């Protein structure tokens, strides 16, 4: 070991015979290789000699995460310089979604650079489908990249021309990979495969600065000296994938032929070959669905890779196979996660001769390890996992849990706040902190005179105009812009305007405080308590869980794999899980629940799955029964579709512990139901349950793990996840072959409906028509019979008998009917792949989540689906317009989470008093309600807001030149963000973004920031009033001052009275400069 230098030799951990095998063997089997330590073993193999390594992993895995873990282990062994590259399948599928992925072009360019380079040989992460794709000579690929370096002489026009030839597109803002934006001497480039876009700054013909910037804040985050911009074309000599797959591959070779001598490692060969066969079969199904004549130039053999003629080392996770054993074992807990009993056991093992190395990238941690004594080593590295060699009695233990850099980058708490701060529109309702609900009318410039006793000239200032009841107008100074919030509440609710002066507003606030806040505290306290409760840890059983995984007939998507990993990791923890899995309909949430349920059942605990409808419960029961058909799992179902004698028998079996998994509707909430060993509660389509319905089981079983599934979570749930009170996993990636639904939003016309139905029937498909009016649905069915006499239309609605609904649905599922006319009863729980057209009548009457759920009923197979949202109202409300526009804009696959965020703003987070999405939000507006909620959260966490409100009066022209930010709404948004800055860092970030987006800051905008600086300076002080003049400042305090506060000493202040001090004109400039330095200390605030 060489802990002082931050690395150790593999010999310290692995046995000599195993390392000899890695060094000298090109094929063989490594048995009992823990999946969580695969990157460690690959790192040891890479360090065994200098040859290149090709590591084949599963399809659709998060290869970036694997690469990051591999890099950490390589660093532990002193292999920091070993490059890691990727060679993955560059397309979704070769028929329906065959466009080349930009990230794949970047990976290919990076791969060519390291293969063609003279440095250490690479470790290339690939898949079986990636290995089937042949490559051009690396030298040809390498010369296609555009290289730039600071200090180089480079004409901007020349760079733009080269980027255009490489396939980049030019936009106003570079916000997506492959885009370029030009503003004067600055060129922004977003290279595919890069985590962040780059900003190139020129002076004349020289590149003077090259830095990466954050997309969300537009602020530069670091500087780099050089950059390689890959071409966007994947194939150099082929126009598209079809031409490549159909032609001979002249001059192209498989990856391993461009890396002579490379060793090929594979993670579970049998499993990955089975997955590869499954993938190719899926491609065949897509081909049959999207190519009616079944003809194609694509040669399927070009997508198949044969490993038989290659020397391979197979890392097999099973103990039962013959092979060499690495003799290592995963240590599941980091040091900080160990309880007292585990620490005491570790100390006893140290005394018995265990050699321990503690790893942490934070060097100061070493001082906290005195309790371990002196018999351990310290490694200044963050590592993905703990590992031990039991035979050698050696252990590496991370100090803290592994946090992928991707997770750290995605933590941006101000994001939602900044979006809402921008969202004020002329003519819409707003909430003023002191006056209540009014209407934003725009911006005016007023001439005001006589304020400054030294300079008695008139001043022109800019104000925000808000209209109240009886057309009274409030002129809000720009420096009070943060007092405004957009008013949003339940759709269709139009509140009365408040009276200016705040009397009606204060009454509503007081009523809300008396009712909402106590209940919010109680509910929030429940979430906080669940984190403190000690639950049951459910360790995995690899062999049983591997049997379940291999029985899944689909290839897991990357996000699905991540969600499964998140849930299983939560189940291994000692506190109860409370996780929301959000993903579009049919994106694989149910499989996540299957894996979680099986993990808990393997640990001899019961699982309950709560569904909103009998149909959904029945479908889930069939799904779980199919998945567990060859496994020792006992299932039961409780719903009104189950005969009473059978229900009573299931209840008894649950009480006696003879049912492992019960799936049911509201019957699971019955007080007569007794779970002796309940370990996991799964709530599906959580938006269909009330708040206290969902909390009932949580309160009765506080130690139980809870998994919530939703395509579009209700705003209340989403807001709790955003507030960090509930963990969340989002499945955004669609299943392979899934096509985005084509949406049509238009006025109702019979010919549109007739055409939609006949087109679907002609391609042997089925149709949903949603008419959500039980009183008129029979009449509408008669009209359909007139328009479509040759089509048999089935009908269901909620007032029909359950057995009639079930028979009608079964007939439709079995394709005895082609069109189903229904109310929103089909919103949840019907999964029929043949239905690929949806027609919604009176779409303007539906909520956004309802429309999205309905749309999710179609497009569940490999065929393109069509959704028609037909509106009848000649004049739609603003929110109906916004709802339908959002549905059209969020048409891409995986948009459910984004729609839920939009709905969070459109509808508000929901009343915490019950299961309806309204209440006091209607009286206060969503934003002000959220302020109250955040204050409650702070109280529960023991946090206090240090800000003491001070009244600031500005006595000089306070406005931004109209030409600087010409859009009124955007200008108000900038004012609000400046004045809402909570600390010096946030203000610096806002200033940097304004400077970057709009150019050099003019004097008027500088004054806005100057007042914001003053505001932050006096924020923690007992100041009641601040009068800011053009060349002086007067501060008034709550009580006479015995001495100046420390923050104000040395700033040139003089007393006017015992409770009043002044910055005189002679010291004003020095005062503001010192205040700016104090507020912006340590920050680069560009002026």
Q: Are residues 240 and 263 in the same domain?
A: yes
Q: Are residues 109 and 30 in the same domain?
A: yes
Condensed to tens digits (0 to 9), the pLDDT of residues 377-412 reads: 899 889 999 999 988 789 999 998 887 664 444 333
Q: Are residues 136 and 154 in the same domain?
A: no
Q: Are residues 483 and 548 in the same domain?
A: no
Give a yes or no: residue 195 inside a domain: yes
Percent of the chain exceeding pLDDT 70 equals 76
Write out the DSSP string of 206-236: EEEEEEEE-TTT--EEEE-SEEEE--S-S-S
* Domain harbouring 280, CATH code: 3.40.50.11180
Give the residue with greater pLDDT, 752 vs 53.
53
Q: Are residues 478 and 536 in the same domain?
A: no
Dist. CA 238–CA 201, nearest whole Å = 35
Q: Are residues 710 and 754 in the same domain?
A: no
Average pLDDT rounded to a whole number, residues 233-260: 83
The first and second tokens of residue 108, run together, are 């290919």
**Residue at a domain's end among 177, 207, 226:** 226
Q: Specify the DSSP element, H or E, that contains 272.
A: helix 269-290
Least confident of 277-286, 512-521, 599-608, 850-859: 512-521
Torsion of CA 664, 669, 671, 674, to 10 degrees: 50
Q: Are residues 835 and 788 in the same domain?
A: yes
Q: Does 916 score more than 70 pLDDT?
A: no
Most trustworthy range by pLDDT among 2-6, 126-130, 954-958, 1034-1038: 126-130
Find out whether 853 and 883 touch, Cβ atoms under 8 Å: no
Q: Are residues 334 and 267 in the same domain?
A: no
Give the residue with greater pLDDT, 408 vs 57.
57
Per-residue pLDDT, 505? 85
Find out whether 462 and 960 touch, Cβ atoms under 8 Å: yes
Q: Are residues 61 and 8 in the same domain?
A: yes
Q: Does 947 score more than 50 pLDDT?
A: no
The bridge status of strand 606-610 relative to strand 473-477 is unpaired
Using alpha carbons, select from 810, 735, 629 the residue that is nearest to residue 283. Answer: 735
Q: Does 816 score more than 60 pLDDT?
A: yes
Average pLDDT rounded to a whole number, residues 345-361: 90
Condensed to tens digits (0 to 9), the pLDDT of residues 731-751 reads: 877 776 566 678 888 888 887
Give a yes or no: residue 322 inside a domain: no
Q: Are residues 955 and 1035 in the same domain?
A: yes
Q: Are residues 956 and 1059 in the same domain?
A: yes
Q: Which one-letter DSSP state was computed for residue 456?
A: -
Average pLDDT rounded to a whole number, residues 448-460: 52
Q: Are residues 866 and 794 in the same domain?
A: yes
- How deeply is 385 buried, as exposed, middle or buried, from its count of CB atoms within 10 A (0-12, 13-18, 19+)? buried
Mean pLDDT (the chain) is 79
* Domain harbouring 881, CATH code: 3.40.50.300
Give the residue with greater pLDDT, 1008 vs 890.
1008
Per-residue pLDDT, 874? 60
Give a yes or no: residue 854 inside a domain: yes
Per-residue pLDDT, 634? 94
Give the residue with greater pLDDT, 461 vs 529.
461
The first and second tokens of residue 352, run together, are 């018995």
* Domain harbouring 991, CATH code: 3.90.1150.50
Residues 6 or more apart whose Cβ sits within 8 Å of residue 837? 756, 757, 759, 760, 765, 766, 767, 768, 858, 865, 866, 867, 868
Interhelix angle 896-907/715-722, rounded to 10 degrees, is: 100
Per-residue pLDDT, 710? 80
Least confident of 88-97, 153-162, 493-502, 937-946: 937-946
Count the domains in the chain. 6
Per-residue pLDDT, 57? 93
Domain that holds residue 820: 742-892
Average pLDDT rounded to a whole number, residues 304-318: 85
Average pLDDT rounded to a whole number, residues 771-786: 92
pLDDT confidence bin for 337, thresholds 50/70/90: confident
Find out whether 825 and 769 touch, Cβ atoms under 8 Å: no
Count the residues in the chain.
Answer: 1087
Give a yes or no: residue 545 inside a domain: yes
Give a yes or no: residue 324 inside a domain: no
Condensed to tens digits (0 to 9), the pLDDT of residues 965-1014 reads: 766 777 788 888 888 887 888 888 888 877 776 666 777 788 888 888 88
Q: Does 414 score more than 50 pLDDT?
A: no
Average pLDDT rounded to a whole number, residues 712-733: 61
Write the Ramachandran bin of 1052: left for phi over 0, alpha for psi from -120 to 50, otherwise beta: left
Dist. CA 1073–CA 86, nearest whole Å = 51
* Domain harbouring 205, CATH code: 3.30.2060.10
Find out whether 726 and 578 touch, Cβ atoms under 8 Å: yes
Give the residue with greater pLDDT, 298 vs 1040.
1040
Q: Which one-letter DSSP state was computed for residue 177?
A: T
Average pLDDT rounded to a whole number, residues 469-478: 88
Average pLDDT rounded to a whole number, residues 852-856: 77
Per-residue pLDDT, 317? 79
Q: Which one-letter DSSP state was computed for residue 70?
A: H
Using alpha carbons, select from 269, 347, 354 the residue that is nearest to residue 305. Answer: 269
Per-residue pLDDT, 722? 46
Give the residue with greater pLDDT, 1046 vs 749.
749
Percent of the chain exceeding pLDDT 90 equals 20
Per-residue pLDDT, 1081? 45
DSSP E strands: which ranges in 270-419?
312-315, 329-331, 355-359, 376-379, 386-389, 394-398
**Residue at a domain's end among 288, 315, 342:** 315
The pTM score is 0.56
Average pLDDT rounded to a whole number, residues 482-490: 75
The first and second tokens of residue 804, run together, are 């009639």
Give the HSE-up count for residue 388: Cα atoms under 13 Å, Cβ half-sphere. 16
Give a yes or no: residue 514 inside a domain: no
What are the backbone dihedrals phi and psi of residue 637, each rounded to the nearest 5 degrees, phi first?
A: -135, 140
**Residue at a domain's end among 408, 443, 461:** 408
Give the residue with greater pLDDT, 623 vs 1075.
623
Average pLDDT rounded to a whole number, residues 924-949: 60
The first and second tokens of residue 24, run together, are 């000298």
Give a yes or no: residue 492 inside a domain: no
Give a yes or no: residue 999 inside a domain: yes
Least confident of 366-370, 543-547, 886-890: 886-890
Least confident of 418-427, 577-586, 918-927: 418-427
Per-residue pLDDT, 759? 73
């Amino acid at each position: 070991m060489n802990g002082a230098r931050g690395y150790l030799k593999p010999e310290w951990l692995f046995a000599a015979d195993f390392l000899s095998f890695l060094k000298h063997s090109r094929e063989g089997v490594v048995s009992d290789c823990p999946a969580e330590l695969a990157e460690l073993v690959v790192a040891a193999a890479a360090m065994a000699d200098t040859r290149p390594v090709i590591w084949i992993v599963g399809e659709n895995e998060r290869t970036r995460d694997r690469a990051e873990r591999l890099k950490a282990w390589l660093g532990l062994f002193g292999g920091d310089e070993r490059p890691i590259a990727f060679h993955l399948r560059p397309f979704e599928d070769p028929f329906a979604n065959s466009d080349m992925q930009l990230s794949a072009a970047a990976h290919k360019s990076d791969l060519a650079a390291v293969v063609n380079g003279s440095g250490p040989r690479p470790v290339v992460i690939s898949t079986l489908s990636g290995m089937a794709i042949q490559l051009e000579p690396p030298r040809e690929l390498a010369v296609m990249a555009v290289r730039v370096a600071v200090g180089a002489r480079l004409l901007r026009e020349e760079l733009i021309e080269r980027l255009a030839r490489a396939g980049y597109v030019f936009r106003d803002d570079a916000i997506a990979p492959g885009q370029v934006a030009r503003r004067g001497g600055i060129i922004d480039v977003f290279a595919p495969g890069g985590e962040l876009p780059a900003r190139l700054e020129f002076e004349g013909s020289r590149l003077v600065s090259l830095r990466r910037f954050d997309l969300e804040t537009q602020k530069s985050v670091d500087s780099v000296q050089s950059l390689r911009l890959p071409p966007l074309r994947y194939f150099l000599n082929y126009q598209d994938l079809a031409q490549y797959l159909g032609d001979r591959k002249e001059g192209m070779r498989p990856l391993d032929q461009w890396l002579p001598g490379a060793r090929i490692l594979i993670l579970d060969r049998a499993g990955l070959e089975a997955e590869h066969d499954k993938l190719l079969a899926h491609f065949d199904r897509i081909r049959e669905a999207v190519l009616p004549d079944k003809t194609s130039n694509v040669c399927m053999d070009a997508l198949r890779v044969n490993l038989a003629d290659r020397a391979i080392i197979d890392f097999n996770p099973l103990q039962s196979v013959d092979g060499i054993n690495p003799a290592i074992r995963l240590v599941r807990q980091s040091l900080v996660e160990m309880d007292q009993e585990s620490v005491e056991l570790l100390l006893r093992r140290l005394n018995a001769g265990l050699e321990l190395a503690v790893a942490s990238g934070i060097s100061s941690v070493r001082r906290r390890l005195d309790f371990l004594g002196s018999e351990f080593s310290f490694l200044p590295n963050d590592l993905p996992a703990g590992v031990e060699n039991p035979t050698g009695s050696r252990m590496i233990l991370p100090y803290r849990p592994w946090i992928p850099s991707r997770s750290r980058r995605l933590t941006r708490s101000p994001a939602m706040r900044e979006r809402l701060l921008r969202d004020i529109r002329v003519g819409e309702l707003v909430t003023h902190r002191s006056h209540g609900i009014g209407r934003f009318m725009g911006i005016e410039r007023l001439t005001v005179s006589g304020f400054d006793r030294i300079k008695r000239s008139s001043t022109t200032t800019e104000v925000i105009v808000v209209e109240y009841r009886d057309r009274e107008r409030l002129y809000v100074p720009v420096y009070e812009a943060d007092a405004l919030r957009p008013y949003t509440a339940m759709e269709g609710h139009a509140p009365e305007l408040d009276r200016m002066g705040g009397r009606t507003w204060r009454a509503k606030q007081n009523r809300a405080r008396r009712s909402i806040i106590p209940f919010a505290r109680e509910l929030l306290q429940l979430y906080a308590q669940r984190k403190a409760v000690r639950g049951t840890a459910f360790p995995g059983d690899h062999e049983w869980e591997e049997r379940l995984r291999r029985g899944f007939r689909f290839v897991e998507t990357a996000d699905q794999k991540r969600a499964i990993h998140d849930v299983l990791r939560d189940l291994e923890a000692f506190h109860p899980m409370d996780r929301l899995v959000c993903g579009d309909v049919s994106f694989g949430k149910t499989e996540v629940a299957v894996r979680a349920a099986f993990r808990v059942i393997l640990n001899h605990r019961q699982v309950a799955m709560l569904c909103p409808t009998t149909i959904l419960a029945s479908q889930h029961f069939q799904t779980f029964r199919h998945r567990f058909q060859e496994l020792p799992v006992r299932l039961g179902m409780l719903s009104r579709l189950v005969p009473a004698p059978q229900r009573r028998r299931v209840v008894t079996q649950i009480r006696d512990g003879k049912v492992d998994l019960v799936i049911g509707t509201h019957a699971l909430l019955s007080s007569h139901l007794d779970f002796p060993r309940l370990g996991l509660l799964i709530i599906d389509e959580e938006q269909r349950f009330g708040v206290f319905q969902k909390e009932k089981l949580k309160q009765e079983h506080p130690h139980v793990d809870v998994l919530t599934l939703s395509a579009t979570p209700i705003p209340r749930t989403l807001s709790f996840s955003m507030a960090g009170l509930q963990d969340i996993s989002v499945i955004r990636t669609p299943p392979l072959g899934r096509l985005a639904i084509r949406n049509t939003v238009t006025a109702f016309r019979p010919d549109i409906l007739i055409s939609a139905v006949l087109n679907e029937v002609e391609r042997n498909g089925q149709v949903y028509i949603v008419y959500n009016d039980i009183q008129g649905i029979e009449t509408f069915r008669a009209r359909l019979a007139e328009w479509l006499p040759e089509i048999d239309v089935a009908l269901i609605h909620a007032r029909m008998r359950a057995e009639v609904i079930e028979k009608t649905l079964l007939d439709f599922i079995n394709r005895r009917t082609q069109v189903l006319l229904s109310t929103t009863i089909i919103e949840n729980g019907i999964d029929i792949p043949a239905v690929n057209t949806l027609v919604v009548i009176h779409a303007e009457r539906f909520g956004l989540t309802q429309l999205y759920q309905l749309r999710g009923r179609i497009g569940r197979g490999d065929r393109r689906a069509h959704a028609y949202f037909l509106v009848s109202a000649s004049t739609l409300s603003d929110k109906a317009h916004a709802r339908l526009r959002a549905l059209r804009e969020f048409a891409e696959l995986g948009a459910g989470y984004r729609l839920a965020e939009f709905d969070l703003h459109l509808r508000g987070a929901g009343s915490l008093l019950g299961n309806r999405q309204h209440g006091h939000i209607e009286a206060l507006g969503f934003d002000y309600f959220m302020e109250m909620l955040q204050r409650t959260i702070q109280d529960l966490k023991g946090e206090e807001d240090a800000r003491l409100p001070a009244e600031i009066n500005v006595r000089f022209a306070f406005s931004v030149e109209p030409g600087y930010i010409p859009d009124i709404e955007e200008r108000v948004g900038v004012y609000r963000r400046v004045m809402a800055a909570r600390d010096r860092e946030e203000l610096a970030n806002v200033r940097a973004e304004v400077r970057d987006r709009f150019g050099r800051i003019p004097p008027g905008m500088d004054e806005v920031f100057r007042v914001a600086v003053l505001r932050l300076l006096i924020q923690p002080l007992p100041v009641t009033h601040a009068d800011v003049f053009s060349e002086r400042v007067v501060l008034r305090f709550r009580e006479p001052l015995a001495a100046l506060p420390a923050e104000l000493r040395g700033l040139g202040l003089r007393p006017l009275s015992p409770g009043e001090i002044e910055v005189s004109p002679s010291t004003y400039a020095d005062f503001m400069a010192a205040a700016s330095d104090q507020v912006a200390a340590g920050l680069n605030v560009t002026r």
